[in-house]
Amino acid sequence: MSSVPEIFDTLSYGPAPEDASAVREWLAAQAGGFRLFIGGQWRSSLGDAPRIPCVNPASGEGLSSLTQSCAQDVHEAVACAQAAFASWSKSGYERARVLYALGRLIQKHSRFFAVLESLDNGKPIRETRDLDIPLAARHFTYHAGWAQLLERELPDHEPLGVVGQIVPWNFPLLMLAWKIAPALAAGNCIVLKPAEDTSLTALFFAGLCADAGVPPGVVNILTGDGRVGELIVQHPGIAKIAFTGSTEVGRLIRRSTAGSGKSLTLELGGKSPFVVLEDADLDAAVEGLIDAIWFNQGQVCCAGSRLIVEESVLAALVGKIKTRLTHVRIGDPLDKAIDMGALISPAHRERVERFVREAQAQGATLWQPEIPLPKQGAFYPPTLLTDVSPANIVWREEVFGPVLAATSFRTLPEAVELANNTRYGLAATLYTESINRALELAVKLKAGVVWINTTNQLDAACGFGGVRESGFGREGGLEGMLDYLRERDAWIGGAAQASTAQVSPPHSQKLRGPLARSGGLLAATLAADAPSEPAPAEPARGRIDRTFKNYIGGKQTRPDSGLSRPVQDARGRLAGWVANGNRKDIRDAVEAAFRAEKWATATAHLRSQILYYIAENLALRREELNAGLRRFTGRTAAQTRAEVDAAIARLFAYGGWADKYDGLVHTPPVRNIALAVPEPIGVIGIVCPDEAPLLAFISLLAPAMAMGNRCVIIPSERMPLPAMDLCQVLETSDVPAGVVNIVTGDRDELTETLAQHDQVDCVWYFGTNDGSARVEAWAAATVKRTWVSQGRRRDWMSARHGEGRAFLRQATQIKNIWLPYGDSA
């Protein structure tokens, strides 16, 4: 043992092990391993799959064993949750009491949880004790408040039913809390699967549920591997899936839930940038990096794994990082004096090693501190890779280990370009002493969360979640609550009514007969597609009066195919021609929309003025639009006049909303403020329904525009002319080129290209149930956000269901920008 003078001399710490005896006793008492928590009871599986060993990754020691659930177990859990739903969803006050009790129980057992988590996962006790567990408790107490306030604050919303939740191994209890607390607050019941590598804290939590007064069946916990996750995802009794994990599995889940009507939130991988400007406090930036990439051994979805440093301070910062890393201590996770513990498993350590070897082979320079590493267990040293090019594997792929890849930049635009040059968009960190530059960059970075002069800050009041292939949906805050609720009575009909008014037939049935040349354009003869009155066998050619091209990049553009398609009026007579757009036209429209990115940063005031201007110009053409609508819909003058008037009023409404749908400022219990800013999503593809051909078109376009999105919009296939009439209005209303692009043609064909396009960030589809399923499946490739009608309709005439916050919410994504304040003690 070292003497006191020696310790003063070396300043080295002795071991400071946490007492694990209570946890070990509890583990020893689980004779035969853990069972499943279903309907408030511990049950054995109805299957006979082999048990799953629980292993401490820091030592290889066996801790216990888990049950591999089978399909019948999943079914039982869902049935219990369904049975519990009616009573659980009734009283917000009762739910608040239970959630608060859960928070208190986590606090009461906090040291037990912290030790158990460290043993099971390999993460340092300092982190579980000071971060994971207190934050988990905070999630329950925060959401207790929501449970009680919901009826008053969100009276038009209701819970979804049974929610399936699948969590990863990197923050086992914390991820459970992020999932369970808001879902319970909203009034849902739960079937949750923890990761097979780290299920122990979830099982201890299950044991506390009865003490907290959670009624049987409200929380069900099923252990097992990914196959159990798949069974939960596919179960028809589940109304929503909330998943945190890899982008690869997120994509599978998107595909497998497509068309099921299940709501979905995905919190996936990341490759988050950590940007350091030359005016930054470099020592603070180094401490930030320790928290960004070496915290939890780098096994953090939002880890700042790409360091982007202003060239003038690169050498200085790298020097400081190296000095700091030589003081990092790696060792027994239960030792209170260590900084880094073990990776989740030996297999994962090999994966990290492979990444590093490959990065070196691709030109990166490796540096690791010479610090002692335990001989046993899945330990890996903190690693710095410099000379990393943007094509290097460690720059592109999520390593999920303590590996930092560094590069430099010369100008701010270059920094933004490097930071955004990734398919992910979870989080970003900025270090600069200039508040002006910080906020300017924060807006430009494509990420769901931006930390300024701090990093990896998390709180229940502040939404967390990504953009692009980091997924969609938020956890925490108001936006997180909304993801566990649905609007009450917002839709009319359902899959069963999919064959009524708004539904267009499968496209193979739509175009019949030979293509005929007319007026220099090829024309397709449209079959009688359910007009409101019987159509004649052949369109009357003498009545052709109007021909429209596509509207792309601010002008009328001839379709790539050179083809037009006839449009019939309500009596089946030929009323005009529209472009027969194809995938090339959609691609051109997306390109035009992509280039119009200035719309996203135009002032809300300007967007508002332009919407008012469109409304005014539309009002000038009120009678003309009214006559057109009557002709196409066959409705009475009073009905069509009401639709035109509602369309004008809607534009006025969104002119009003454009500069009023603001964000929030959160004050989490650390010295930070977090600005929750609603940002435009980007390029939205909008597929309009056939009903209310003018009003539905405006009701979808206007909120998207108001929030700063650019749109590629496919109007009603059967009645596109009222929408095409708008092109002239748009041209005379100062709408910048490319903000609105309209392509007509075969709706299904056009939708496929739109939903699969890389540069389309989101698709709104108002059509059939089948069409909705296809859109969701196509969107899986790039993990696009979607809003689909599933064969239902909205009451477009109603201001409650046809406009407002629900639409604005679909047109935005919340970015949380964290700013610390104060530097006194």
Residues serving a catalytic function are 267, 301
Q: How far is the CB of 288 from ligand NDP (least distance, A)?
A: 20
| 301 is a contact residue toward ligand NDP (CB under 6 A) | yes
Kindly indicate which of the ranges 10-18, 119-127, 194-202, 727-735 contains the residues binding ligand NDP, using the contact rule CB under 6 A. Answer: 194-202
| 120 is a contact residue toward ligand NDP (CB under 6 A) | no
Binding mask 215-244 for ligand NDP (x = CB under 6 A): ----------xx--xx--x----------x
Q: For residue 208, with 0-12 CB atoms within 10 Å meaning exposed, 13-18 middle and 19 or more buried, which class applies?
A: middle
Q: 218 with 88: CB under 8 angstroms?
A: yes
Kindly indicate which of the ranges 161-169, 333-341, 627-635, 725-733 contains the residues binding ligand NDP, using the contact rule CB under 6 A. Answer: 161-169
The DSSP element (H or E) to which 14 belongs, if any, is none
| 195 is a contact residue toward ligand NDP (CB under 6 A) | yes
Q: 631 with 639: CB under 8 angstroms?
A: no
Kindly indicate which of the ranges 163-171, 204-212, 496-504, 661-669 contains the residues binding ligand NDP, using the contact rule CB under 6 A. Answer: 163-171
| 246 is a contact residue toward ligand NDP (CB under 6 A) | yes
| 245 is a contact residue toward ligand NDP (CB under 6 A) | yes
- The token pair at 589 is 């429209």
Single residue of 117, 196, 335, 487 touching ligand NDP by CB under 6 A? 196
Q: What distance in Å separates the CA atoms of residue 258 and residue 264, rounded to the nearest whole number?
A: 10
Single residue of 116, 268, 384, 575 touching ligand NDP by CB under 6 A? 268
Q: How far is the CB of 62 from ligand NDP (least distance, A)?
A: 18
| 449 is a contact residue toward ligand NDP (CB under 6 A) | no
Give the rounded distance of the alpha carbon of 824 from its chain centre. Answer: 37
Return the HEC string of 194-228: CCCCCCHHHHHHHHHHHHHCCCCCCEEECCCCHHH
Closest CA to 564 of 574, 553, 554: 574
Q: How far is the CB of 470 from ligand NDP (least distance, A)?
A: 8
Closest CA to 785 of 774, 772, 795, 776: 776
Single residue of 169, 395, 613, 764 touching ligand NDP by CB under 6 A? 169
Q: What is the DSSP letter of 373?
A: -
Toward ligand NDP, which CB reaches closer, 448 or 804? 448
Kindly indicate which of the ranges 142-150, 166-174, 311-319, 552-560 contains the residues binding ligand NDP, using the contact rule CB under 6 A. Answer: 166-174
Binding mask 75-114 for ligand NDP (x = CB under 6 A): ----------------------------------------
- The token pair at 730 is 């748009």
| 269 is a contact residue toward ligand NDP (CB under 6 A) | yes
Toward ligand NDP, which CB reaches closer, 404 or 712? 404
Q: 359 with 367: CB under 8 angstroms?
A: no
Toward ligand NDP, which CB reaches closer, 72 or 603? 72
Rounded to 5 degrees, φ, ψ at 128 are -65, -40
Q: What distance in Å separates the CA atoms of residue 335 and residue 377, rounded to the nearest whole number?
A: 15
Q: How far is the CB of 49 from ligand NDP (least distance, A)?
A: 13
Q: What distance in Å separates the CA atoms of residue 716 and residue 695, rounded to the nearest whole number?
A: 11
- The token pair at 402 is 């303590």
Q: How far is the CB of 286 from ligand NDP (least distance, A)?
A: 25
Closest CA to 221 of 53, 29, 84, 39: 39
| 49 is a contact residue toward ligand NDP (CB under 6 A) | no
Q: What share of the chain is helix, strand, coil (3-state, %, to 5)?
A: 45, 20, 40
Terminus-to-terminus CA distance in the chain, angstroms? 35
By beta carbon distance, the residue nearest ligand NDP is 229
Q: How many residues does the chain have?
A: 825
Toward ligand NDP, which CB reaches closer, 253 or 651? 253
Toward ligand NDP, which CB reaches closer, 250 or 715? 250
Q: How far is the CB of 482 from ligand NDP (least distance, A)?
A: 21
Sequence-ordered strand ranges (E) for 343-402: 365-367, 383-386
- The token pair at 596 is 């119009």
Toward ligand NDP, which CB reaches closer, 244 or 504? 244
Single residue of 49, 252, 412, 495 touching ligand NDP by CB under 6 A? 252
Q: What distance in Å separates the CA atoms of residue 463 and residue 479, rounded to the nearest whole number?
A: 6
> Which of helix, strand or coil describes residue 251?
helix
| 168 is a contact residue toward ligand NDP (CB under 6 A) | yes
Single residue of 64, 68, 89, 170 touching ligand NDP by CB under 6 A? 170
| 293 is a contact residue toward ligand NDP (CB under 6 A) | no
Q: What is the DSSP letter of 294?
A: I
Q: How far is the CB of 450 from ligand NDP (least distance, A)?
A: 18
Toward ligand NDP, which CB reaches closer, 92 or 463? 463
Kindly indicate which of the ranges 246-254, 314-322, 521-529, 734-742 contains the residues binding ligand NDP, using the contact rule CB under 6 A. Answer: 246-254
What residues does 751 pair with on adjacent strands? Answer: none
| 473 is a contact residue toward ligand NDP (CB under 6 A) | no
Amino acid at 56: N
Q: How far is the CB of 671 from ligand NDP (least distance, A)?
A: 26
- Residues between 767 and 806 that touch ligand NDP (CB under 6 A): none
Q: How far is the CB of 790 from ligand NDP (least distance, A)?
A: 22
Toward ligand NDP, which CB reaches closer, 170 or 454? 170
| 249 is a contact residue toward ligand NDP (CB under 6 A) | yes
Q: What distance in Å separates the CA atoms of residue 786 and residue 774, rounded to the nearest whole number?
A: 11
Q: What distance in Å separates the CA atoms of residue 129 and residue 106, rounded to the nearest whole number?
A: 12
Amino acid at 95: R
Neighbouring residues of 428: CB distance < 8 A, sequence distance ≥ 6: 272, 273, 274, 275, 304, 419, 442, 445, 447, 449, 450, 451
What does the buried/exposed string (b/e) look like for 749-779 if buried means 16 or more CB atoms within 10 Å of the residue's CB? bbbbbbbbbeebbbbbbbbbbbbbbbbbbbb
Single residue of 398, 475, 691, 748 touching ligand NDP by CB under 6 A? 398
Q: How far is the CB of 401 from ligand NDP (least distance, A)?
A: 8
Kindly indicate which of the ranges 188-196, 522-530, 579-587, 666-674 contains the residues binding ligand NDP, using the contact rule CB under 6 A. Answer: 188-196
Q: What distance in Å separates the CA atoms of residue 238 and residue 746, rounded to the nearest whole number?
A: 34
Toward ligand NDP, which CB reaches closer, 288 or 298? 298
Q: Count of alpha carbons within 13 Å of 605, Cβ hemisphere only?
A: 0
Toward ligand NDP, which CB reaches closer, 427 or 586? 427
| 303 is a contact residue toward ligand NDP (CB under 6 A) | no
Single residue of 193, 510, 666, 757 touching ligand NDP by CB under 6 A? 193
| 73 is a contact residue toward ligand NDP (CB under 6 A) | no
Number of amino acids touching ligand NDP (CB under 6 A): 25
Q: What distance in Å separates the CA atoms of residue 186 and residue 88, rounded to the nearest whole number?
A: 10
Binding mask 595-634 for ligand NDP (x = CB under 6 A): ----------------------------------------
- The token pair at 354 is 């492979």
Q: What is the DSSP letter of 382?
A: -
Toward ligand NDP, which CB reaches closer, 230 or 803? 230
Toward ligand NDP, which CB reaches closer, 78 or 318? 78
> Which of helix, strand or coil describes residue 819?
strand
Toward ligand NDP, which CB reaches closer, 169 or 274? 169
What does the buried/exposed string (b/e) look like for 315-324 if buried means 16 or more CB atoms within 10 Å of the residue's CB? eebbebbeeb
| 400 is a contact residue toward ligand NDP (CB under 6 A) | yes
Q: Count of alpha carbons within 13 Å of 354, Cβ hemisphere only?
A: 10
The footprint of ligand NDP (CB under 6 A) covers 166-170, 193, 195-197, 225-226, 229-230, 233, 244-246, 249, 252-253, 268-269, 301, 398, 400
